[in-house]
Amino acid sequence: MSVPESLSTRQLLDSYTGLVRVRVCGLLVQEGALLLAAHRGLLPNDAPFWSPPGGGWQFGETIQACLRREFREETGLDVHVGRFLHLHEYGSADLQALELFFEVTPEDANAIPRLGHDPEHAAEDQLLTKVAFVEPRQLIRLPPTQVHPVLRQIISTDDVFIPQIRFQK
């Protein structure tokens, strides 16, 4: 039996292209670092794109249930959803989303995040490549295009807890 060929990154992103999505994202801070997920396929040369865990809000679920589901899928963590922090309009040549950011805390303070999966994609076609706690000083060293716009200007994890609304210019 042959192993199925993995889809190209372009084919994987096609399911998100040309749609306006509502995404719900969680900001989890521990010991001065943010839990972030690296995604492939959004940048040239397979450069990772670092963003908070989260994903698309599905019909019939609450925003809080969406965030808990997405966090569990991407990081293996069960979380409590806290206060609303940011509204962000995300857009690129092919992708457009309205993103809602919430503070989250783990249900089990001793739980360790692990790389999860996106159930919409086969095992060999995952966009997620890594989850890690990243300090703001590490984010500043990365090219801005590799960091979610909400996190590009932060110098402290305290900065993510200042509520903001950001629209593209």
Sketch the domain layout of the chain as residue ranges: 19-166
Neighbours of 128 (CB within 10 A): 18
pLDDT band at residue 5 using 50, 70 and 90 as cut-offs: very low
Looking at the DSSP assignment, which residues form a beta bridge with residue 91? 96
- Radius of gyration for the chain, computed over Cα atoms and rounded to the nearest angstrom: 16
pLDDT at 75 over 60: yes
Q: Are 102 and 82 in contact (CB under 8 A)?
A: yes
pLDDT at 163 over 60: yes
pLDDT at position 6, please? Answer: 45
**What's this model's pTM, rounded to 2 decimal places?**
0.82
pLDDT band at residue 2 using 50, 70 and 90 as cut-offs: very low
| Domain 19-166 falls under CATH 3.90.79.10 | yes
The strand order across the sheet containing 54-56 reads 54-56, 20-27, 96-106, 79-91, 164-166
pLDDT at position 160, please? Answer: 84
Phi, psi of 130 (to 5 degrees): -165, 150
Q: Give the mean model confidence (pLDDT) for residues 116-139.
A: 87
Q: Are 33 and 135 in contact (CB under 8 A)?
A: yes
- Find the range with the poorest average confidence among 2-6, 79-83, 85-89, 102-106: 2-6
pLDDT digits 0-9 by tens, 41-52: 777 678 899 999
pLDDT at 169 over 70: no
- Our measurement of the distance from residue 157's CA atom to the centroid of its chain's CA atoms, rounded to an integer in Å, reads 16
